[in-house]
């Protein structure tokens, strides 16, 4: 059984690209699972079941083992399943033998040591590689634009299937039903590979070695090392000071 959480995981890539030392610091701090994470896991299990069933593939119904199953989760996963099946039908019209992969392990270790992640849905055709990610969270509106997680998944899929399909374009979609958000972004194959060489690989080398500079920002939100991070403490202090700073309008007599 492979290690479920890579030090350089796709899902945390925004954080370790921005702050390379955070990869090793988080690995040392360990996971702190939240109820929200379990809710997301439940929703993903239901998505997988519904799509595999729609594709006519065998999959056990997970409902009786889900902690957070409710009518909202049923509706959101139905909507996601419909979206994926529409995209797959469209792919079948464009390509005689499209490939659809659900909950697929994607290895992007060519650019990041031991880097891997699990893609919710990958559709591969000649010309277009499509990556679709389901987000059940409500808190943060997630955009597919310049999204490192999606690009890491795309790299893993490109590495695995780029020699079988003639891929020239990557289409990445975030499906976030509880925020009424379907965000799509595209990049050329060459553009993706250039980003991997210029941005991902250098940051991954530093992150894997536990070196580089600490850098705080909005990417600290999900960092499990932030309780003991001085850089983060300074950042929050600055933010608080800025919030209390009188505005120009306040200074006018
Ligand atoms: S809290 Fe922020 S600055 Fe500190 S290690 Fe984590 S990501 Fe880096």
Give the tens place of pLDDT for each residue, 69-98.
999 999 999 999 999 999 999 999 999 999
Given a cut of 60, whether residue 1 has pLDDT beyond it is no
Q: What is the pLDDT of residues 138-176, one digit of tens each?
A: 989 999 999 999 999 999 999 999 999 999 999 999 999
Comparison of pLDDT for 238 and 125, the residue scoring more: 125
For a mutational test of ligand 1's pocket, the pick from 213, 215, 224, i.e. the residue with the most ligand atoms closer than 8 A to its C-beta, is 215
Given a cut of 60, whether residue 4 has pLDDT beyond it is no
Average pLDDT, the chain: 93
| Local structure of residue 5 (DSSP, 8 states) | S
Given a cut of 90, whether residue 242 has pLDDT beyond it is no
| Local structure of residue 9 (DSSP, 8 states) | B
3-state SS class at 145? coil
Looking at residue 33, what is its pLDDT? Answer: 66
Q: Is 77 left (phi over 0), alpha (psi -120 to 50) or beta?
A: alpha
What is the Cα–Cα distance from 197 to 13, expressed in whole angstroms?
15
Looking at residue 241, what is its pLDDT? Answer: 84
Gap from CA of 185 to ligand 1 centroid (Å): 27
Gap from CA of 213 to ligand 1 centroid (Å): 10
Looking at residue 31, what is its pLDDT? Answer: 67
Looking at residue 179, what is its pLDDT? Answer: 96
Looking at residue 247, what is its pLDDT? Answer: 64
Domain spans of the chain, in order of start: 13-33+83-242
Looking at residue 239, what is its pLDDT? Answer: 86
Looking at residue 224, what is its pLDDT? Answer: 92
Looking at residue 244, what is its pLDDT? Answer: 73
Gap from CA of 217 to ligand 1 centroid (Å): 8
Q: How confident is the model at residue 240 (pLDDT cuts 50, 70, 90)?
A: confident
Gap from CA of 163 to ligand 1 centroid (Å): 38
Q: What is the pLDDT of residues 15-62, one digit of tens each?
A: 999 999 999 999 998 866 677 889 999 999 999 999 999 999 999 999
For a mutational test of ligand 1's pocket, the pick from 13, 21, 29, 212, i.e. the residue with the most ligand atoms closer than 8 A to its C-beta, is 21
Looking at residue 38, what is its pLDDT? Answer: 92
Pick the residue whose CA is nearest to atom 7 on ligand 1. Answer: 220
Looking at residue 5, what is its pLDDT? Answer: 62
Tokens of 198: 């210029």
What is the Cα–Cα distance from 98 to 88, expressed in whole angstroms?
8
CATH tag, 13-33+83-242:
3.90.320
Gap from CA of 7 to ligand 1 centroid (Å): 15
Which DSSP string corresponds to the chain? ---SS-TTBSTTHHHHHHSTTHHHHHHHH-----HHHHHHHHHHHHHHHHHHHHTT------GGG-SS--HHHHHHHHHHHHHHHHHHHHHHHH-SS-EEEEEEEEE-TTTSTT-EEEEEEEEE-SEEEEEEEE---SSS----TT-HHHHHHHHHHHHHHTTTS-EEEEEEEEEEGGGTEEEEEEEEHHHHHHHIIIIIHHHHHHHHHT-S----SGGGGG-TTGGG-HHHHHHHHHHHHHHHSPPHHHH--
For ligand 1, say whether the CB of 15 is within 6 Å of any of its atoms: yes
Looking at residue 251, what is its pLDDT? Answer: 59
Tokens of 183: 């965000």
To the nearest whole percent, how much of the chain has pLDDT over 90? 87
To the nearest whole percent, how much of the chain has pLDDT over 70? 94
Given a cut of 60, whether residue 178 has pLDDT beyond it is yes
Identify the burial level of 35 via C-beta atoms within 10 angstroms of its C-beta, where 0-12 means exposed, 13-18 middle and 19 or more buried.
exposed
Given a cut of 80, whether residue 2 has pLDDT beyond it is no
Q: Catalogue the E-assigned strands of 83-153.
A: 99-107, 116-124, 127-134
For ligand 1, say whether the CB of 26 is within 6 Å of any of its atoms: no
Q: What is the mean pLDDT of residues 105-133?
A: 97
Q: Is 103 left (phi over 0), alpha (psi -120 to 50) or beta?
A: left
3-state SS class at 24? helix
Q: Determine the atom of ligand 1 nearest the C-alpha atom of 216.
A: 3
Gap from CA of 164 to ligand 1 centroid (Å): 40
pTM, two decimals, is 0.92
């Amino acid at each position: 059984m492979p290690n479920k959480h890579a030090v350089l995981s796709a899902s945390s890539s925004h954080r370790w690209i921005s702050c390379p030392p955070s990869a090793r610091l988080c690995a040392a701090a360990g996971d702190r699972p939240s109820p929200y994470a379990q809710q997301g896991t439940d929703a993903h299990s239901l998505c997988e079941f519904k799509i595999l069933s729609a594709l006519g593939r065998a999959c056990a119904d997970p409902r009786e083992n889900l902690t957070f199953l409710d009518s909202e989760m049923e509706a959101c996963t139905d909507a996601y399943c419909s979206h994926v099946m529409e995209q797959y039908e469209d792919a079948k019209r464009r390509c005689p033998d499209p490939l659809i992969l659900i909950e697929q392990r994607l290895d992007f270790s060519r650019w990041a040591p031991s880097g891997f992640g699990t893609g919710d849905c990958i559709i591969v055709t000649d010309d277009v590689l499509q990556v679709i990610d389901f987000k059940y969270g409500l808190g943060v509106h997630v955009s597919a634009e310049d999204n490192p997680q999606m690009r890491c998944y795309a790299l893993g899929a490109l590495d695995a299937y780029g020699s079988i399909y003639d891929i020239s374009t990557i289409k990445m979609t975030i499906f976030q039903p509880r925020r009424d958000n379907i965000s799509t972004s595209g990049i050329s194959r060459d553009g993706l590979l250039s980003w991997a060489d210029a941005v991902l690989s250098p940051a991954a080398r530093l992150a894997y070695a536990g070196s580089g500079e600490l850098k705080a920002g909005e990417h600290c939100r999900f960092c499990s090392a932030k309780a003991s991070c001085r850089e983060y403490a300074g950042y929050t202090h600055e933010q608080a000071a800025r919030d209390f700073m009188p505005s120009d309008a306040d200074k006018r007599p």
